[in-house]
Amino acid sequence: MSRLYTPKKVGAYSLSHRVVLAPMTRLRTIQPGDIPSPMMADFYGQRASKDGLVIIEGVSISIPARSYLGAASFYHDGQVAGWKAIADAVHAKGGRAFMQLIHGGRQSHVEMTGGVDPVAPSVVPFEGVALTKDGFVPASPHRALGIEEIPGIIEEFRVAAQRAFDAGFDGVELHGANGYLVDQFIQDGTNKRTDAYGGPVENRVRFLREAVEALISVWGADRVGVRISPSGEWGGISDSNPEATFSHVAKVLDGYKIAYLHVIEPRIKGDSTLHEGHGVVASAYLRPHFTGTLIAAGGFDREGAQAVVDSGVADLVAFGRHFSSNPDLPYRLKNNLPLTPYVRDAFWGGDEKNYSDFPAIQDVETV
């Protein structure tokens, strides 16, 4: 039997298997005040399993951090009950729920940021989009963060982490991938600063380090994860030497002894598009630099997931697309059962249809 279906200690928790629900931006936060909807609790509860890991979709830490209409956020007390319902739904199945925290940075529009200009490490030409009530529209012009503003954003990460703690989650994941604010600081294609947060890679990871330390101050290192996307293209992101940059990132994070490092393979562009023919390259070159738990993500099927875990390149595999339409995915993978096809048109926004209405083959407590 593949190691994919065997227990694994991840940070503070002992998991019964290594199939992880990846964080997916599904844009179902449709209630006033950005309060999580009941169908979100249904969705996550359905995909939980006993001692399995569920990573909640990117949750914006403030109004200016938002990028997409309907995306999750957690910035006021009125949202606590909705998020607690989601944590409770996962726990009812015996699962563990980590909340992914995000700041969209320049990937936004003034309609989503409360009327203020989106921010970034530097002003670099950008042709990205944001989602507003008028649909996907060009992102608003962004401005460079003043160095005196950075501690305030780090504090927003800390406060959001505390809110997740108070709502009953089991940990948090820092979204350092897909061209959002943390990633914009890391990569030299978007970070042109000449102060303590720019220039050499040691400076470009300073924002990442401070955000991680803020999360650890609430949760402890063994309940904090980080997601990165070496060589990802989404959000107009780029780096002149991604292998060197992200090898350094892995070494830095290894020093904190965090719960896990979550790596999106370059074959995923960022919008769930799979670039065929690309192998598991990022996890492979990062593995020597990170001694802790490594989660690989990016277009895996059953055979690919088993192979990457059995080889030792990764310890767990996160699934998004296949988990979207197969709430009992760990059970199906272990028993080599047919998978329900996913519905791409329902990935971003909508109601329960092709979201929380996919049937499980059977209700099971364990894989």
Write out the catalytic residue numbers: 180
Look up tokens 């009950």; give the residue.
81
Residue 85 vs residues 46, 160, 180, 315, 354: alpha-carbon distances, Å: 13, 17, 27, 29, 21
Report helix, strand and coil shares of the chain as percent, to nearest 5: 35, 20, 50
DSSP bridge partners of 225: 173, 260
Look up tokens 């329902």; give the residue.
346
Look up tokens 């505390």; give the residue.
162
Q: Of 204, 252, 258, whose CA–CA distance to 226 is shortest?
A: 258
Q: How many CB atoms lie within 10 A of CB 52?
A: 24
Q: Of 316, 228, 321, 322, whose CA–CA distance to 271 is shortest?
A: 321
Do residues 50 and 365 touch, judged by C-beta distance below 8 A? yes
Write the single-letter amino acid at 245: T
What are 328's two structure tokens? 């009992």
CA angle, 276 as apex, 305 and 336 as ends, to 5°? 30
CA angle, 150 as apex, 145 and 155 as ends, to 5°? 140
Return the axis-axis angle of helices 206-219 and 242-256, rounded to nearest 10°.
30
Q: Of 51, 288, 262, whose CA–CA distance to 172 is shortest?
A: 262
